[in-house]
Each structure stands twice: as C-alpha cells, then as structure tokens.
A and B are shown apart, each in its own frame.
Chain A
Amino acid sequence: MIWQFDFIILALALVCAVASISLKDLLSAAIVFGAYSFLMCLLWTEMGAVDVAFTEAAVGAGVSTVFFIAAVLHTSRQVKPRRHGRFFYKVIGGAAALVIGGILLAASADFPTWGDPASPASTHVSPHYILHSIPDTAVPNIVTSVLADYRGFDTMFETSVIFVAGLAVLAILGRFGRRQRDEEPAEFAAVPIAGQSPIIQTACRIFVPFMQLFALYVVAHGHHSPGGGFQGGVILAASFILIAISYDLRTMLGRLRERLNMLFASLGVMIYAGTGALCLLMGANFLDYSVLHHILPATSPIMARSHGMLAVEVGVAFTVMAVMVLIYVNIASHGKSDKGL
C-alpha cells in the first residue's frame, strides 16, 4: 500500500463527490459521479480487492452512469431552482452534519489499521477461508468460494434483490395494456430507425461479439481470476446497451425480445434457488453442492462444490444481465420500450 497514491486518489474522490452534489447541470453531475466511482475502483485495486474493483468499474463507473444519463435526458437537465431555505434550517442541518461527522471520525480512530493481522476479522473467520478454500472446494479465488459457496445463501438474496429492483422499475415505469400493444405495429412502420453515424455503428458492431465473449469468460473463469456472475452479467448487459445506443432501441429489442429478457431475469433466480433445492432434495443442506457428485458424472464431492458454484454464477449472470437491460430499456423509453435514446 502506497500512502501517497491513496492520498491523491482519496483527495480526488472527495473533490468529485463535492462537485457531483453541487453541480447545477445534472448531466455533468452524472459524469462526475462516474469519475468518482472509477476513483473508488482504483482505490480498491490498490488495496488488493480486485473483485470489488471489477464490480465497481462495471456497475458504478459503467452501467449506472449510463442509467443516470438516460434518466437525465428524459427528465430535466437542470436542478430545480431551489427556494432559499431559511437560515435557521441551514444552521440546524450544518450542525447535525458536523456532529455526526465528528462522531464518525472519532469512531474511526478505534478501527484496526488496514491489513492488521491481529484485527478480529483477520483472526476469526478469514484464516478458515484462506486455509480451507482449496481443500474444501478446489477454487483458488477465495472471493468466489466465499461468495458462492460458504455464503451462498447471502448471494442468493443479493440476486433476488436485483430481480426485485428490476420488478420495481417495471412497476413504476412499465406501461402495460392492450391499447399499447395494438398501437405498436403502426408505430413500427411510421418511425424510421434513426441511429448514429456509420462510423459508430461499425465500431460497435465489431466490439459487441468480443464483449459478449469476454463476459462469458468472466462468468466462467470467476473461479480462477477476478470476476463472476455479477461482473459478467453487467458486461453482457453493456453489450446490449451498446447496440441500443449505437443503433436504436428497437434494433436491440429485435435481438433480445422483452418477454425473453424477463424470462431470463426470473430464470436466473430460479437456477440459483433450484440448485439449492436440488441439494435439499438429494438429502443435504440447502446449497450444499457437495452432494451433487451423485448426479454429476466423474466428480468428487470437492469438484462438485466447484461445479455447483459455476451453476450458481450462471444464474446470477442471467438475472443481472436481464435486469440491467430491463432497467435501461424502461428508462430510455419512458417504459414504452419503442424508441431509442
């Protein structure tokens, strides 16, 4: 850990954070917020948390910035002119922020120093994972084995949370009903496909297959290198969003039908929970993959845990990809999912 490097990154992150809440132009604020996420990603890489940094780069700096920009483009670009609050409220707000901030700063002095081998986290449970990950599960990337096996129950609900987020976006923005469906064919014929210039379209067309291949690699290789279902799913979703931005939302929906996309979102959660339920059916605990060696050919109980993790990661990737695409489609089209950005 190089403290000068940390210091510069943290100072820049602070500048970005203050700028993104004080800028009046919301588009600039969204972009500055993306820069803030990327600085945090650098910080995590520097601290050795590469999986977290990967997620932050894909979700925080990548897809969520696109969501923000799409939302800004479809609502308003300027901050609503604020009535000047009364001085009294400003004083109370400032005082509360100062007091809470002071308490937090005082409490941070009690934290163990970074990487302290005598801290509770490093003496209690971490050594168990570090010592047992390879003998137990044959997975060298301990983050994956903790995420998908030792704490698989947690991750199942993380996946469900993402699924519920997709449902919430659909419930708020989505427009259903027969009228909408009847109008669609006429609209399809009336609106020409706008899209971007041919240069952008060609470059994006070249990139999309490589992005998807890389996403599959990230999902499947999460056992041995940083990555996994969440990161791979986001990259897959990014490839579809790239098609929607460079061509048209309708072109993208032609490749990935909305109905199919929703099916993928629920299929992912079902794969995850189904793997757990299968273990339950075969007489072991929920998500105890080692019992799966009875049905997987030529595997030991240890390798079965590794394969079970892969199945679960695939489920996560399905849900994350589908929900990210769903959120983008609904934000970019006011829920009608017909026109482009």
Chain B
Amino acid sequence: MIDAIVVVLFVVGLLSFFSTTIGILRFPDFYSRMHAAGKGDVFSSVAILLGLVVYHLRHPSVGGTLVAIKILMISLFIFIASPTATHAIIDAGFTAGIKPWSKDENRPEGEGGQ
C-alpha cells in the first residue's frame, strides 16, 4: 500500500518534469517558458521528494525518520527558494526590456520559438 503511494508520487513527479521540459521547449517566449519551468520544477521536485519521504517511512526506524525529516526540510526549502528564483529571473528579464510575446504582433526576432 505504502509502496503504491511512493510509485504514484514518483510517476506524478516524472510526468510533470516531462511536461515542464515540453513547456520550456515549445512555449513562444521568455516569460511563458519561465512560467512552465518555475511551476513545473517546484511541483515535480517536491512530488518526488515527498515520495522519498514516504519511502523512508515505510519501516519505522529512528534513522529513516531522521532522513525523512531532512528531505521534508529540503522540500520546504525548494518550495520557497525556487519560486523566488523564478521571480528574480523574470524580474531581471523585465528590467532588461524583454517584450512579452503577443498574438497580434509578429514574433520578436530571436525571442520566438524554434
């Protein structure tokens, strides 16, 4: 039963990593790519780390619980740090004057998708 939870969390994490990668490759401009990268990255890595937490709690032991708590702290760190980093990158892009892509205009040179 617990193994099933672990597998589900891992698969969810890997699938969302996959969709993050597709998003980074396929979205038209800087901002929408960061949107894919930021959200997908946090969600998928936290899902995989939570899977590891559950995995270490399968057989209750002091060492396993300690590792689980440490991984929980790492996922808390990612939960705060990664969106902040995404914000910082988007902020820097906005300050540098990168124009958002819009449907009406032609795609800006060098910013469009491949």
Residues on A facing B (Cβ under 8 Å): 196-197, 199-200, 203-204, 206-207
The CA-CA distance from A197 to B81 in the complex, in Å, is 14
Q: Which B residues between 72 and 91 are near A, CB-CB below 8 angstroms?
A: 77, 80-81, 84, 87-88, 91
Total interface residues on B, CB under 8 Å, equals 7
Question: Are B80 and A197 neighbours in the complex by a CB distance under 8 Å?
Answer: no
Beta-carbon nearest neighbor of B92 in chain A: A196
Closest 8 CB pairs of A and B: A203-B84, A200-B88, A199-B87, A197-B91, A200-B84, A203-B80, A199-B84, A200-B87
Q: Which B residues between 47 and 79 are near A, CB-CB below 8 angstroms?
A: 77
The CA-CA distance from A206 to B84 in the complex, in Å, is 12
Q: In the complex, which residues of chain B have a beta carbon less than 8 angstroms from the beta carbon of A206?
A: 80
Q: In the complex, which residues of chain B have a beta carbon less than 8 angstroms from the beta carbon of A199?
A: 84, 87
Question: Are A207 and B88 neighbours in the complex by a CB distance under 8 Å?
Answer: no
Q: Chain A contact residues: over half helix, strand or loop, or mixed?
A: helix
19 example contacts (A-B, Cβ-Cβ < 8 A) are as follows A196-B88, A196-B91, A197-B87, A197-B88, A197-B91, A199-B84, A199-B87, A200-B84, A200-B87, A200-B88, A200-B91, A203-B80, A203-B81, A203-B84, A204-B84, A206-B80, A207-B77, A207-B80, A207-B81
Q: Chain B contact residues: over half helix, strand or loop, or mixed?
A: helix
Q: In the complex, which residues of chain A have a beta carbon less than 8 angstroms from the beta carbon of B77?
A: 207
The CA-CA distance from A207 to B91 in the complex, in Å, is 20
**Min CB gap A236→B, angstroms:** 17
Q: In the complex, which residues of chain B have a beta carbon less than 8 angstroms from the beta carbon of A197?
A: 87-88, 91
The CA-CA distance from A207 to B73 in the complex, in Å, is 12
Beta-carbon nearest neighbor of B90 in chain A: A197
Beta-carbon nearest neighbor of B80 in chain A: A203
Q: Which B residues between 8 and 24 are near A, CB-CB below 8 angstroms?
A: none
**Min CB gap A202→B, angstroms:** 9
The CA-CA distance from A206 to B81 in the complex, in Å, is 10
Q: In the complex, which residues of chain A have a beta carbon less than 8 angstroms from the beta carbon of B81?
A: 203, 207
Beta-carbon nearest neighbor of B84 in chain A: A203
The CA-CA distance from A331 to B33 in the complex, in Å, is 31
**Min CB gap B31→A, angstroms:** 16
Beta-carbon nearest neighbor of A199 in chain B: B87
The CA-CA distance from A200 to B88 in the complex, in Å, is 7
The CA-CA distance from A203 to B83 in the complex, in Å, is 10
The CA-CA distance from A12 to B81 in the complex, in Å, is 26
Beta-carbon nearest neighbor of B73 in chain A: A210
The CA-CA distance from A207 to B84 in the complex, in Å, is 11
Q: In the complex, which residues of chain A have a beta carbon less than 8 angstroms from the beta carbon of B91?
A: 196-197, 200
Q: Known contacts A199-B84, A203-B80; can you find 14 more A-B pairs with CB under 8 A?
A: A196-B88, A196-B91, A197-B87, A197-B88, A199-B87, A200-B84, A200-B87, A200-B88, A200-B91, A203-B84, A206-B80, A207-B77, A207-B80, A207-B81
Beta-carbon nearest neighbor of A197 in chain B: B91
Q: In the complex, which residues of chain B have a beta carbon less than 8 angstroms from the beta carbon of A204?
A: 84
